[in-house]
Chain A
Amino acid sequence: MNARLLPFTGFVLVLALLGFGIWWSSTHDLREVPSPLIGKPAPAFALPLLDDPATSFGSKDLAGQPYLLNVFASWCFACRDEHPILMQEGKRLGIKLVGFDYKDEADDAKRWLAQYGNPYDVVIADLPGNVAIDFGVTGAPETFLVDADGVIRYKYISPITPEVIATQLLPRIAAKKGAQR
């Protein structure tokens, strides 16, 4: 190689490295915490129902059926954007929709659901946030797809979009149903 080209080649290499950095950070959310729980059994949990705190509801009641666990809270602004999507498309999923009310006052959550509608089949409340830590929750909204075997198949951080439902959730749900038949 011509020695004259060496500095230029070096420059191009550095440029390529920096360009890769820009491309990578614009296509990936660098703040997103990867979940080590995907492909692993969902943690066992039992939490009080939002509407009936005396009754506990948890993984035992959900055993044997797939479900979508949606972490929300009345204090969460982004959940307000996500909510209409769940209202419109939640039923389309064909699986149980579990609302996970995260670190929220029960009255606030009830008022919030009364105002914006309740897309969930069941709503559990985690006021201390312990179960959320077991699930590796970093905030709201976050959504977990758990299959009939109780294994976490998919996790989505930030508000669910119709695109995520169509390209990520529905194919996974359909694949699992097909395998069981």
Chain B
Amino acid sequence: MRKLFTATLLSFALCTAALAAVDPLPFKDRAEEVRFQNLTKQLRCLVCQNESLNDSSAPLAADLRRDVFEQMRAGKSDAEIKQWLTARYSDFVLYDPPLRGATWLLWFGPALILLVGGGALFATIRRRTAAQPANTPAPTSEDDW
């Protein structure tokens, strides 16, 4: 009986510990909470880097959530809060990297590759159709290319 009691107590303690990991913040209304959730979902946890600041239970994430919340309360805009974070943790903290000199390849690289590939494909097809009159029979698979 005593063992069961201890086990129950322990499981309660563990549950509260798990709850404390994602700390409840004293939002004044639903709108504030929604704004907070939206903002922290765009921010990366610096410890568990595949988690957003909104999801992470890392202690640093909890500290940063608290800071974001306090800054929201202080009347800072989302952009100002992001700027405050990037001044400390660089663009790494943003899931959406800003467009600038160092990131243009990241933004336009895929389009560039598509363009080069598409261009090469187009040129090859044109050359082949030009080299091959419509009446000649299609080449066998052996002398393809």
- Tell me the minimal C-beta distance from B47 to chain A in angstroms: 6
Contact yes or no, A10 B89, CB < 8 A: no
Cβ-based interface call for B81 (8 A): no
Known: A36-B87, A139-B47. A133 touches B120 (CB 8 A): no
Interface size on B, residues (CB 8 A): 21
**Residues of chain A from 3 to 30 with CB closer than 8 A to chain B in the complex:** 3-4, 6-7, 10
Hey, what's the 0/1 contact readout for B89-117 against A, CB within 8 Å counting as 1? 11011000000000000000000000001
- Contact residues in A for B13 (Cβ distance below 8 Å): none
Contact yes or no, A7 B89, CB < 8 A: no
Cβ-based interface call for B88 (8 A): yes
Cβ-based interface call for A31 (8 A): yes
A-B contact count (CB 8 A): 50
Within 8 Å by CB of A3, from B47, B63, B124, lies B124
- Tell me the minimal C-beta distance from B135 to chain A in angstroms: 21
Cβ-based interface call for A128 (8 A): yes
Cβ-based interface call for B145 (8 A): yes
Contact yes or no, A133 B127, CB < 8 A: no
Contact yes or no, B88 A136, CB < 8 A: yes
**Residue in B closest to A33 when the chains form the complex, CB atoms:** B92
Task: Give the size category of A's interface with B.
Answer: 20 to 34
Contact yes or no, A138 B60, CB < 8 A: yes
Contact yes or no, A133 B124, CB < 8 A: no
Cβ-based interface call for A35 (8 A): yes
Alpha-carbon distance between A36 and B88 when the two chains are bound, in angstroms: 6
Contact yes or no, A133 B63, CB < 8 A: yes
- Tell me the minimal C-beta distance from B103 to chain A in angstroms: 13
Cβ-based interface call for A129 (8 A): yes
**Residues of chain B from 63 to 94 with CB closer than 8 A to chain A in the complex:** 63-64, 67, 86-90, 92-93
Alpha-carbon distance between A36 and B102 when the two chains are bound, in angstroms: 14
Contact yes or no, A34 B90, CB < 8 A: yes
Cβ-based interface call for B128 (8 A): yes
Contact yes or no, A133 B87, CB < 8 A: no
- Tell me the minimal C-beta distance from A110 to chain B in angstroms: 21
Cβ-based interface call for B39 (8 A): no
Alpha-carbon distance between A134 and B89 when the two chains are bound, in angstroms: 9
Cβ-based interface call for A122 (8 A): no
Alpha-carbon distance between A136 and B93 when the two chains are bound, in angstroms: 11
Cβ-based interface call for B46 (8 A): yes
**Top-3 shortest CB links A-B:** A136-B88, A138-B46, A36-B90
29 of the cross-chain contacts (CB-CB < 8 Å) are A3-B124, A3-B127, A6-B120, A6-B124, A7-B145, A10-B117, A10-B120, A31-B49, A33-B89, A33-B90, A33-B92, A33-B93, A34-B90, A34-B92, A36-B86, A36-B87, A36-B88, A36-B89, A36-B90, A128-B63, A129-B63, A130-B67, A133-B64, A134-B88, A136-B88, A136-B89, A136-B90, A139-B46, A139-B60
If A3-B127, A139-B47 are given as contacts, then 5 extra A-B residue pairs at C-beta distance below 8 Å, sorted by A number, are A31-B49, A33-B90, A36-B86, A37-B88, A133-B88
